[in-house]
Structure 1
Amino acid sequence: MRIVVTGLIGQYPFGGVIWDYIQYVLGFQALGHDVYYLEDTGVWPYDPVKETITDDCTYQVRALERIMGGFGLGGRWIYRNAADGKFHGAGEALARELVKGGDLLVNVSTASWFTDYEVGVKHQMFLDGDPMFTQIGMHDPDKGDYTKRLRAHDSHFSFGLKLGDADCRVPDTGIRWKKTLQPVALDWWPFVQEAPEDQFTTVMNWASYKPKVWQGEEFGQKDIEFLKFADLPLHTPQRMVIAMGQGIGRKRPTEMLEGKGWTILEPDEVLPDHAAYREFLRRSKGEWSIAKHGYVAARTGWFSCRTACYLALGRPAVVQDTGWTDHLPEGEGLLAFSTLEEAVRGIGQIDADYGRHRRAARAFAEKYLDARVVCQDLLDQAGIG
């Protein structure tokens, strides 16, 4: 099949963002398909050096040339500058041909809408990576156009593994959401043989956007959940290191967190690209992480794309339960927690038998997260496999 995958790699060519999108391209390609990456977001470029929106997409184009070339995809990417409408990379003619006559368009997290294209692709697939918040947005009367475009896809998938379950509080949209996980291109995330640094880590943002309201209740970001576990370093001898963005309004309480024993790193300094991101995870002993408050409170079953990468490397993970334990196994290599006591216990269990847990982590990734398996499952569930 001829497949086009959308994304935000050019707009945000940083750390984990790159992997979130590129692994779909690599996964479908590994299955033998003819795959291209197309970024046409309708959003003007952002220059991180000048820290401003600009009409100049030089930074985006150079980043894509470097990144895609590194994955052997040098002739398989297209970027459109919203400021002037010009296409870069493989060009406008191919972009329009793919959207008009391709077999599958994989729209990852509303990255592109293709408003001025002749859309004739045989199947449009939407992937929701932000359950609860996506569905709240669909009920917003001011986002009618967004909802219409989302509904126009032929199949709809979500990282929310519990969507449709009786105890899941995600609002009904009339869509039957199919379930999926983040694909990991295992060849790019090999099992790590050497010993790690003695630290549990994660990568996160204090708060990515303001809370959303549904039926009078606020559903918030990671800041709310993190504060519930702020005392964790006081209860474990394990070193805890977080590459943590300062969040909207730069409200991260750095001094308070460091006073409780957390080591806080600036993501833009230590994780400038996908290679540094992978190396940060690789050197870690394992991951400890919370989820967005909205994922937890709504019992979405969301499972992290970042955790998937830790597991692939054979780095065990202790992560907050959003309800994903109702659909995925846990206890070896991957441990869930809902309370501070459970988090402390999970870290201790991994420390006590690290070899067993790291092998189990890799085995989990091979069974559930292998990009070839996940991408084939997308095709099968959509009925186009």
Structure 2
Amino acid sequence: GLQRLKLDAIWLELLPATEDVTADQGRIKNFQRQLRAHGLAGRYCLLYQKPASDAHDLDGIRCIGMSKRELLDRLGGPNVLLNLAYSIHPPLLLKFQRRVFCDLDPSEIFYWMTKMEMGQSCHHEFWTVGLNVHGNDCQLPKSSLPWKTFYPLVDTQWFRVQPRPRTPKFTTVGQWYWGGAVEVAGEFPDLSKKIAFEPYLSLPRRVPDAQFELAMNITAADPERGRLQRLRWKIVDPHRVARTPSTYRCYLASAAGEFTAIKGVDVAWRTGWISDRAAAFLAERSAARLAAAIQASAQLCRGSFRFS
């Protein structure tokens, strides 16, 4: 998308090394294969860090794709880094002329920024998908940072409008269990999809003509799998249906739409969070619906409606 806008953009990705060298090499090859498939061969720099560390020092990093010399040459001229969820840390981060923090999970980012360094002291701009961050009813932890909001991005060159499937299937992709921790009203509630979906588990019985499917990490031995299946939910392996960008797009296209449940903290704090997955679902169903959803999100920012 940035290239189509005539911007000289590259993909910068950090890969911390593990103890399994063979697995690491497999990840590197898969990364390269996917970027080639999307027209980004020669437009990326994969930073392979061995050993892994929270400090990202270019001296201890192997550059794959673009060479270290080429990267340093770019850093020597005008440049901007869109740093997704604080992926790149100092000292490498500080080599960029302009640094933009892009928040994709406002409840956790805003909370932990009140507790520890999360990049708030080393970026020039702060963007969030928490569309209600400036709303009067937003309950996110107070922040002195000049947050700007942005809509989840979807490339309609890749996510094209698809025919509606014959079977009315609704699905979502995610993690059934979640280990994140955020303090809400003096407690640390369970933020998992397991808890968020609980009020809606009777839906397949109430709408028998539709199929409800969860692409969640629920193993065959997990009692949750049997419980959900008895309630007429279909469970599929997310590592199969979303293994690659192309299989992910095909999986979204197989559904009439997404049905998901927002984690409780986003409801309680009225963050206005919308996922990039939701935008992708909308794009594959109808460009007009995507535009309508964006307009609705703008209303949410003004506090006209909220998650409930």
Q: Distance in 1 between matches of 2:145 and 2:41?
A: 37
Query: Which residue of 31, 34, 47 corresponds with 1:80?
Result: 47
Is residue 2:4 matched to residue 1:30?
yes
Contact 2:44 2:66 in 1 (8 A): yes
Contact 1:38 1:78 in 2 (8 A): yes
DSSP 3-state at the match of 1:186: coil
Alignment deviations for residues 159-187 of structure 1 (CA, whole Å, 9 cap, x no partner): 10111222111101211211111111111
Query: Which residue of 107, 119, 137 corresponds with 1:132?
Result: 107
Is residue 2:258 matched to residue 1:291?
no
Using the TM superposition, give the Cα deviation of residue 117 of structure 1 relative to its aligned residue in structure 2, in angstroms.
Answer: 6.3
Contact 1:99 1:118 in 2 (8 A): no
In structure 2, relative to structure 1, the CA distance for the partners of 1:128 and 1:284 (3 Å cut) is same
Amino acid at match of 2:205: L
Q: Distance in 2 between matches of 1:137 and 1:154?
A: 19
Which residue is equivalent to 2:215?
243
Using the TM superposition, give the Cα deviation of residue 55 of structure 1 relative to its aligned residue in structure 2, in angstroms.
Answer: 4.5
Amino acid at match of 2:259: W
Alignment deviations for residues 268-318 of structure 1 (CA, whole Å, 9 cap, x no partner): 12221111110011111111111122211211000111010011111679x
Which residue is equivalent to 1:228?
199
Using the TM superposition, give the Cα deviation of residue 30 of structure 1 relative to its aligned residue in structure 2, in angstroms.
Answer: 1.8
In structure 2, relative to structure 1, the CA distance for the partners of 1:74 and 1:167 (3 Å cut) is same
Amino acid at match of 1:78: C
TM-score normalised by structure 2 residue count: 0.84
Which residue is equivalent to 2:56?
none
Which residue is equivalent to 1:174?
144
Amino acid at match of 2:271: T
More helix, by proportion: 1
Query: Which residue of 298, 301, 308 corresponds with 1:327?
Result: 301
Note the 1:7-156 alignment, pairs <5 A. 27-40=1-14, 43-45=16-18, 53-55=19-21, 57-83=24-50, 85-116=61-92, 119-121=95-97, 123-140=98-115, 143=116, 146-147=117-118, 149-156=119-126
Unaligned runs of at least 5 residues, structure 2: 52-60
Q: Distance in 2 between matches of 1:136 and 1:117?
A: 22
Q: Distance in 2 between matches of 1:186 and 1:222?
A: 28
Q: Distance in 1 between matches of 2:234 and 2:36?
A: 34
TM-score normalised by structure 1 residue count: 0.68
Is residue 2:179 matched to residue 1:205?
no
Unaligned runs of at least 5 residues, structure 1: 1-26, 46-52, 331-335, 339-385
Contact 1:100 1:117 in 2 (8 A): no
In structure 2, relative to structure 1, the CA distance for the partners of 1:70 and 1:196 (3 Å cut) is farther
In structure 2, relative to structure 1, the CA distance for the partners of 1:196 and 1:71 (3 Å cut) is farther
Q: Distance in 1 between matches of 2:176 and 2:298?
A: 22
Amino acid at match of 1:97: D
Query: Which residue of 134, 143, 150 corresponds with 1:164?
Result: 134
Using the TM superposition, give the Cα deviation of residue 200 of structure 1 relative to its aligned residue in structure 2, in angstroms.
Answer: 1.1
Alignment deviations for residues 237-285 of structure 1 (CA, whole Å, 9 cap, x no partner): 21111111239xx977111111111001111122211111100111111
Q: Distance in 2 between matches of 1:300 and 1:329?
A: 10
In structure 2, relative to structure 1, the CA distance for the partners of 1:173 and 1:194 (3 Å cut) is closer
Q: CA RMSD in A?
A: 2.8
Using the TM superposition, give the Cα deviation of residue 327 of structure 1 relative to its aligned residue in structure 2, in angstroms.
Answer: 3.4
Contact 2:184 2:265 in 1 (8 A): no
DSSP 3-state at the match of 1:233: helix
Contact 2:94 2:122 in 1 (8 A): no
Q: Distance in 1 between matches of 2:9 and 2:65?
A: 14
In structure 2, relative to structure 1, the CA distance for the partners of 1:135 and 1:337 (3 Å cut) is closer
Q: Distance in 2 between matches of 1:100 and 1:201?
A: 46
In structure 2, relative to structure 1, the CA distance for the partners of 1:281 and 1:328 (3 Å cut) is farther
Amino acid at match of 1:301: G
Alignment deviations for residues 178-212 of structure 1 (CA, whole Å, 9 cap, x no partner): 11111111111111136444311111111232332
Q: Distance in 1 between matches of 2:130 and 2:223?
A: 27
Alignment deviations for residues 356-382 of structure 1 (CA, whole Å, 9 cap, x no partner): xxxxxxxxxxxxxxxxxxxxxxxxxxx
In structure 2, relative to structure 1, the CA distance for the partners of 1:40 and 1:170 (3 Å cut) is same
Amino acid at match of 1:72: G
